[in-house]
Amino acid sequence: MDNESAAEDIIKRRAIFYRSFGIYAEVGGFYDYGPIGLKIKRNIETAWRRLFPEGLGLLEVETSMVLPEVVLKASGHLATFTDPVGVCTSCHTPYRLDKLLEEYYESRGDSESLSGVKRLKLNDLAARIASAGIKCEKCGGTIGNPENFNLMFKTQIGQKGTDVAYLRPETAQGIFVDFKDIYRAYGLKLPCGISQVGKVFRNEISPRQQLVRVREFTQMETEIFIDKDAKFDGFGGVDFSEARNEKIPFIRRGEDSESELTINELLGDGAIPNEYFAILLYKEKELAELLGLEKGRYRFRQLEKEELPHYSMGNIDLEVKTSYGYIEVAGNAHRSDYDLSSHAKLSGKDLSVLSNEKKVLPHVIEASIGIDRLLFSIIDGAVRDDGRGWKFLALKGSVAPYLYAVFPLQKDEALIKKAREIKAELETKHVASLYAEAGSIGKRYARADEIGIPNAITVDFETLEDKMITIRDRDSSKQVRKGIAEIFDRVV
């Protein structure tokens, strides 16, 4: 069984996440999280919050998931939020043309053509698909009728539905619309930042690859508002002299392979637009490593000119290597003053603020991280098989659903009582733990390993006498005896 199949097997059997509405006819692109998956997801969010809103001293908000049409007209989403789509001329199955072509080149190991897909426009994509002889996966029909399809879910507001609205395609617009009120209410000064975590919705053409291409997902977004003419004087308490010298794996525009480059080098040649942007990349590297993404599994990529959004003065994606190839898990953008100026113009409201005794319409630097793709990437790369008889997830303690499993050696009342006492003590110290007594101790170890619990505590009859317990390490399977009191101060 290959790594992809092993990860998928664990995901399915332990219900980490699974397709929504499973008892009815399948509707693709929607997923539910089971108890284990939800704990992992929340741990990712906690790590992000520690590094971004809390770590950088930003405000955090929660805005509406339903946006009136005028908001998305101002933002440009009504006109430009599209993907290139083709439809099978026989069975009418829709396909996203760029992804279909990328999969074709990747399956043939044609890395040069693969990297060039990002530069192709709609008609070029359709021509390449035709010349490559790519057919419908379902019926073998020809894929034609190329068009740019708007990805937003449309809805109506009110009893008669006369007011058009959309489910938000990103959380950022709520922050931009609220910016001036938040700025005033909290007495902010530029530069400043606002973060948000929340659901977003995109009507993906052909959902596939589990959590990679879905129609409903969660974003963790940070918007930094700056005076573009003001001198950079640090931000968020980051030691920028240290950040400047940080090396990151980076693919420059027009290149096919990555290099280890310092942030200072990338600032020098303009690949990173400015220091605020650099800080966000620095924090994303820190987040990736905190969550257990090893060196060599992630990289930053400067977007090609043809890929740039309409508002962009520079975009860099964070990509992670998975069994599906490299996937984008974060998008970073210098959005200029496009959003605030557009909303100011269409609403008739002045969204400028005072900076250095002059009125300024701030520029925005954004870091948008997709938590679902990040979760999939972590699990996909965490599967291990060292011959112990079962595969397991080598999750880092920062994302593991539980830090400890607590087991009585046997179904003995005294052992059960002591094991439950240890679990209760762990919980009072806010250390997540899983208690189990059913099955042999070997099977319980296997189940704990499989969902990535780093340590298992076993209470045996000697524990009742000497107050010592056995701690088993998930990755090495080694066991040591320790005093019960020691585990409460143990750093995982």
pLDDT of the residue at 227: 97
CA distance 75 to 64: 16
pLDDT of the residue at 490: 53
In whole angstroms, how far apart are CA 483 and each of 59, 428, 458, 486? Answer: 43, 18, 12, 5
Structural domains in the chain, sorted by start: 3-80+152-380 (3.30.930.10), 82-150 (3.30.40.230), 402-487 (3.40.50.800)
Q: Is 26 left (phi over 0), alpha (psi -120 to 50) or beta?
A: beta
pLDDT of the residue at 487: 80
Query: 457 near 483, Cβ under 8 Å?
Result: no
Kindly report the pTM of this predicted structure. 0.91
pLDDT of the residue at 381: 95
CB count in 10 Å sphere of residue 364: 25
State the Cα angle at 426 between 422 and 429, rounded to 5°. Answer: 145
Query: Would you call the peptide bond into 53 cis, given omega within 30 degrees of 0 as the criterion?
Result: no
Residue 108: both structure tokens together: 């043939």
Residue 183: both structure tokens together: 């700025």
Residues of the chain with pLDDT below 50 are 1-3, 491-492
Query: 487 near 471, Cβ under 8 Å?
Result: yes
User: Residue 456's beta-bridge partner residues?
Assistant: 405, 472
Q: Is 488 left (phi over 0), alpha (psi -120 to 50) or beta?
A: alpha
CA distance 219 to 44: 12
List phi, psi (to 5°) of 227.
-90, 110
CA distance 166 to 172: 14
pLDDT of the residue at 491: 40
Residue 24 burial (C-beta neighbours within 10 Å; 0-12, 13-18, 19+): exposed
Rg value, the chain, Cα: 25
- For residue 297, the 8-state DSSP code is S
pLDDT of the residue at 116: 86
Residue 267: both structure tokens together: 């600032």
Query: 393 near 382, Cβ under 8 Å?
Result: yes
DSSP H or E segment with residue 372: helix 371-380
Residue 489: both structure tokens together: 């101060």
Residue 175: both structure tokens together: 């922050």
pLDDT tens, residue by residue, 171-194: 999 999 999 999 999 999 999 999
pLDDT of the residue at 489: 63
CB count in 10 Å sphere of residue 72: 21
Query: 147 near 95, Cβ under 8 Å?
Result: no
CA distance 47 to 55: 10
Q: Would you call 484 helix, strand, or coil by DSSP?
A: helix
Helices (H) and strands (E) in the chain, counts: 17, 26
CA distance 363 to 57: 19
Q: Would you call 138 helix, strand, or coil by DSSP?
A: coil
Which stretches does DSSP call E strand in 185-258?
192-201, 216-226, 247-251
Residue 253 burial (C-beta neighbours within 10 Å; 0-12, 13-18, 19+): middle
